[in-house]
Amino acid sequence: MKTFVANVKSPVGVWSVVGSEGGVTHIHLPQDEMTASKGTPPQPVAETVQQLKEYFAGTRRTFKVKLAAPAATEFQHEVWGALRKIPYGQVRTYGEVADAVDRPRAHRAVGNANHANPWPIVVPCHRVVSTGGLGGYGGGDTVKRYLLDLEGVHYD
C-alpha cells in the first residue's frame, strides 16, 4: 500500500500524519515535518488529521483512529497500551507506567518505549513525567509543556 502524508498545524509546529488504508503508521513531531502528499488522503489519515485538529482546538480528549501495527517488541506494545489508558489531563510517572505493565523496575525501559512511540498525542507519551519534574520528550520541553498545558496540567 502506498503511504500518504498529511500535515496538521498546531501552535507548536506542524505534525505530519503518515499512513494508508491499512492505518496510520506514524505521526511525526513538529521538528520532523514532512512534505504533504497530493490528493485525497486515505480514511485513517483523514480521520486522524481531523481528530488532531479537534484536539488542538480543545474540543477532543480521546482518539478513535485506525493505527497500523508497527514492528515492535511485546514490551513496547504493553507500554503503549498503558499510555492509552492515561486519561486526558492526567500524568503518570515512568515508574507508575512500569508498575502498570507489571515491570516495576523497568522505568528506564518505559522511557525508551515512549521514545519509540510512533503515534505521539494519539498514544499520549507526553503524559508521562519523571518523579522530579517534566521528564523528556522527543519533541522537546516546549512541545511537551504545550500539550500538557492544553490538557490543564502545568509544569514550571
Do the Cβ atoms of 112 and 94 come closer than 8 Å?
no
Share of the chain above pLDDT 90, in %: 90
Could you tell me the three cell numbers for 97?
507506567
User: Mean pLDDT for the chain?
Assistant: 95
Residue 155 banded pLDDT, cuts 50, 70, 90:
confident
> What is the distance, to the nearest Å, from the Cα of residue 153 to the centroid of all Cα atoms in its chain?
16
Could you tell me the three cell numbers for 136?
523528556
> Is the confidence at residue 97, as pLDDT, over 80?
yes
Catalytic, 13? Answer: no
What average pLDDT does the segment 88-104 reach?
A: 96
What average pLDDT does the segment 79-92 reach?
A: 97
Contacts by 59-62 with C-beta closer than 8 Å and gap 24+?
A: 61/88, 61/89, 62/88
Q: Exactly one of 97, 109, 125, 147 is catalytic; which is it?
A: 125
Could you tell me the pTM of the whole model?
A: 0.94
Burial per residue of 101-122, b for 16 or more beta-carbon CB atoms within 10 angstroms, e otherwise: beeeebbebbbebbeebbbbbb
Domains of the chain in sequence order: 4-56 (no CATH), 74-150 (1.10.10.10)
